[in-house]
A and B are shown apart, each in its own frame.
Chain A
Amino acid sequence: MFPTPIEKSSRSWQLTYQALLPAALVLWLLPLIAVAVFSIKPDSDFTTGNYWGLPTSFEFVENYGKVFFASDMPRYLLNSVLITVPTMLGCVVLSSMTGFALGVYKFRSNLWIFFMFVAGNFVPFQILMVPVRDLTLDMGLYNTKAGLVFFHIAFQTGFCTLFMRNFIRALPFDLIEVARVEGVAEWRIFWYVVLPLMKPALAAMAVLIFTFIWNDFFWAIVLTQGAESQPVTAGITSFNAQYRAAYHLMSAGSIVAALPPVAMFFLMQKHFIAGLTLGAVK
């Protein structure tokens, strides 16, 4: 069923494995490597067709300097933070409460309400494009960070509720019953009993939502349109000038934009993997 651990396999297979692994890794990362290399190339390398070769000159400082000091990139990065962090908090707060309600209380339409949250995840979000755009326009939230935050919270809460409800279901219910017998108020049960137990789930979810929202491109271009509100994923396209696309700056910008979620992943790796599997296996 499971593959034999590599250390138990034959020596020749181990050597093959060790030889193939780096090759597969490079092949796998080739597009990313190309972007990274492009981000330190001069613009003329693109026009001469030097896509895969070594840079003709080393323009690290020049390109990244332009990204940080001669473009709206810092503004876009700040926007991304101001969109991602409130969304993350909003989702965690709301879904821990919905998850608690759906996981702990037995009422008649409990399952149906839960299904509605889950069903939201099955709606392909692209079909919501026009109605959501019109809605934000009517509410005066079009082209604002708040508009993006509200939509993301609304949409992500479905997934988060599924996640939280299942996690709370898996907690020993006796703990809650004991607290009730002691006469503890319901909100105090939530706050002092359930919430501390949910910490790993909260952390995992926060990490997941952070990467989801940070990497969102679709809603960023649908609901916002300028440097005053667009997050960094959409802001990268501002390196497309009227006639020419500055691919070297776009590459540098992409690297910068990708750093926070990558850093988040490495710092919180444990929670990230927990987050991906938590909802799946109870």
Chain B
Amino acid sequence: MFQKSKTVMASLAATVALTTSVMAAGHAKLEGDLVIFSDMSNPAPRAVMEGMVERFGALHPDLNIELTVIDREAYKTQIRNFLTANTPDVANWYAANRMKPYVDAGLFEDISDVWAEPELADLASTKGAMTLDGKQWGVPYTYYQWGVYYRADIYNELGLNEPATFEEMKSNCQAILDSGRKCYTIGTKFLWTAGGWFDYLNMRTNGYDYHAKLTGGEIAWTDDGVKATFANWRELIDMGAFIDNHTAYSWQESLPFIVSGDAAAILKGNFAVPPLREAGLDDSKLDFYQFPAITDGVALAEDAPTDTFHIPSGAKNKDAAKAFLKFVVSAENQTLINNGDNLGQLPVNAKSSVDDDKFLKEGFEMLSSNSPGGVAQFFDRDAPAEMAKVAMEGFQEFMVKPDNLDKILARLDRAAKRIYK
């Protein structure tokens, strides 16, 4: 796991630096060591990370960059160690509440000054996710959209259109049910998939700000707004919109239902697309729509989990680290690392061009221009880990036994009082 690729760049890099623009101009010489710890350990992300280090090294030939790639799961426990002892200059992590413990403990550097520079104005869509206490604590490098992936061929067969309102969503669903299929496949065995449904139903029913306050512990789970969200959810459950026995499936195990046509759609992140394509759903059969509006006048907001880079407060070479962060979010680099050959996700810089992929284009379009309400991270990143676990267990229970709602909400409320304090 600890494979060190030491990148000491030769002097021919100087010529590259002159032609490659952006960085070389203003921030001339960077020297010394730059130590980067990364959790991009899967083959494609790893190649991306190594590529970035190489290109950044070419721009700064006097800088000695040491990259350590750590297994993504192991990283989650190791970060607690290395942020306090043996600190790197740059480290990967996640946005929003997932970075809060380290921000609160003073382990991440405040980089509001970097965000104040004009180049970063193009990152507006993710700025909220990087902001805590009015300051910015890192930069994003990739994100992806959530939404409804549906079987276009089934919709065509039944003469249905992409729904824009909850009423249309329900009438579509009724037509699908009448044709002997289920509307949505879902596998709630590992809980988080139900968190996606709650995110969207709650953001559409009550709006992004309400949702953020709820996950932030400022609104009680027994609030009427929350009840309205669950009432909407219950309408779908009572219709029989979801597949049976969903608690027995993981999300991957829920995919066969949409592939076989027994279910018409799935609410999921863009990572569901590759397996569905491999299973034979080409772009004529698989399509995407934004989760429809529920309450009139509530601005649409989306889930778009964001992965990030941070500078630990114990970093030794902060100038070089800041330069690296700016390099990561530059439009050019963003276009490159998020294309289909690399991460296959969305660039965070609005000036970047997105890969020529139907779903990425729709997602980029949606997040850049049709998500005025804001961008949430996903339930288990927005709520504290402990609260997320209890709440998602509640969602799963609700999907199976909707009559238990009052008991579930009372339980969540008790848990919230203990967790947020």
Interface of A with B (CB < 8 Å)? 42-44, 46-49, 70, 72, 225-228, 238, 241-245, 247
Question: Which of B16-24, B71-79, B150-158 lies at the interface with chain A?
Answer: B71-79
In the assembled complex, B105 has its CB within 8 A of some CB on chain A: no
Smallest CB–CB gap between B272 and chain A, Å?
A: 8
Can you name 11 A-B pairs with beta carbons within 8 Å?
Answer: A44-B275, A47-B255, A47-B279, A48-B256, A48-B280, A49-B260, A70-B43, A227-B71, A242-B42, A245-B252, A247-B252
Interface of B with A (CB < 8 Å)? 1-2, 42-43, 45, 70-72, 74, 77-78, 250, 252, 255-257, 259-260, 269, 271, 274-276, 278-280
Q: Are B278 and A238 in contact (CB under 8 A)?
A: no
A42 to B278, CA, bound (A): 9
- Other-chain residue from A47, A238, A245 in contact with B256 (beta carbon distance below 8 A): A47
Contacts of B259 in A (CB 8 A): 47-49
- A47-B256, A225-B77, A238-B71 given; A244·B271 CB < 8 A: yes
A227 to B71, CA, bound (A): 9
- A225-B77, A227-B1, A238-B71 given; A44·B278 CB < 8 A: yes
- Other-chain residue from B43, B74, B255, B275 in contact with A226 (beta carbon distance below 8 A): B74
Contacts of B74 in A (CB 8 A): 225-226
Q: Are A48 and B279 in contact (CB under 8 A)?
A: yes
- A-B interface, 9 closest residue pairs, ranked by CB to CB distance from nearest: A49-B256, A47-B279, A226-B1, A243-B271, A44-B278, A227-B1, A47-B275, A44-B279, A225-B74
A42 to B275, CA, bound (A): 11
- A241-B42, A242-B72 given; A228·B1 CB < 8 A: yes
Smallest CB–CB gap between A51 and chain B, Å?
A: 8
Q: Are A44 and B280 in contact (CB under 8 A)?
A: yes
Q: Are B71 and A226 in contact (CB under 8 A)?
A: yes
Smallest CB–CB gap between A66 and chain B, Å?
A: 10
Residue of B nearest to A51 (CB): B256
Residue of B nearest to A247 (CB): B252
- A227-B1, A242-B42, A243-B271 given; A48·B260 CB < 8 A: yes
A244 to B77, CA, bound (A): 21
Smallest CB–CB gap between B401 and chain A, Å?
A: 27
Smallest CB–CB gap between A130 and chain B, Å?
A: 15
Contacts of A238 in B (CB 8 A): 71
Residue of B nearest to A224 (CB): B74
Smallest CB–CB gap between A50 and chain B, Å?
A: 8
Q: Are A47 and B260 in contact (CB under 8 A)?
A: no
B1, B42, B257, B260 — most chain A CB neighbours (10 Å): B1
A1 to B43, CA, bound (A): 60
A226 to B77, CA, bound (A): 12
Contacts of A243 in B (CB 8 A): 269, 271
Smallest CB–CB gap between B306 and chain A, Å?
A: 14
A186 to B131, CA, bound (A): 75
- Other-chain residue from A43, A226, A245 in contact with B70 (beta carbon distance below 8 A): A226
A70 to B44, CA, bound (A): 12
**Extra contacts besides A48-B279, A49-B255, A227-B71 (12): CB < 8 Å:** A43-B278, A44-B279, A46-B252, A47-B256, A47-B275, A47-B276, A47-B278, A49-B259, A227-B1, A243-B269, A244-B275, A245-B250
A179 to B42, CA, bound (A): 64
A72 to B74, CA, bound (A): 15
Contacts of A244 in B (CB 8 A): 252, 271, 274-275
Residue of A nearest to B256 (CB): A49
Q: Are A226 and B260 in contact (CB under 8 A)?
A: no
A19 to B105, CA, bound (A): 69
A43 to B77, CA, bound (A): 30
Residue of A nearest to B70 (CB): A226
Smallest CB–CB gap between A252 and chain B, Å?
A: 16
A244 to B2, CA, bound (A): 23
A242 to B42, CA, bound (A): 8
Smallest CB–CB gap between A55 and chain B, Å?
A: 14
Residue of A nearest to B260 (CB): A49
Smallest CB–CB gap between B5 and chain A, Å?
A: 15
Residue of A nearest to B2 (CB): A228
Residue of B nearest to A71 (CB): B43
Contacts of B256 in A (CB 8 A): 47-49
Contacts of A241 in B (CB 8 A): 42
Residue of A nearest to B71 (CB): A226
Contacts of A47 in B (CB 8 A): 252, 255-256, 259, 275-276, 278-279
Residue of A nearest to B1 (CB): A226
A245 to B250, CA, bound (A): 10
Contacts of A226 in B (CB 8 A): 1-2, 70-71, 74
Smallest CB–CB gap between A178 and chain B, Å?
A: 58
A244 to B74, CA, bound (A): 17
Residue of A nearest to B40 (CB): A242
Contacts of B42 in A (CB 8 A): 241-242
A195 to B128, CA, bound (A): 73
Contacts of A44 in B (CB 8 A): 275, 278-280
Contacts of A48 in B (CB 8 A): 256, 259-260, 279-280
Smallest CB–CB gap between A278 and chain B, Å?
A: 41
Contacts of B278 in A (CB 8 A): 42-44, 47
A242 to B48, CA, bound (A): 15
Contacts of A46 in B (CB 8 A): 252, 275
A47, A226, A241 — most chain B CB neighbours (10 Å): A47
A231 to B297, CA, bound (A): 56
Residue of B nearest to A237 (CB): B73
A44 to B274, CA, bound (A): 10
A72 to B1, CA, bound (A): 9
Contacts of B279 in A (CB 8 A): 44, 47-48
Contacts of B77 in A (CB 8 A): 225
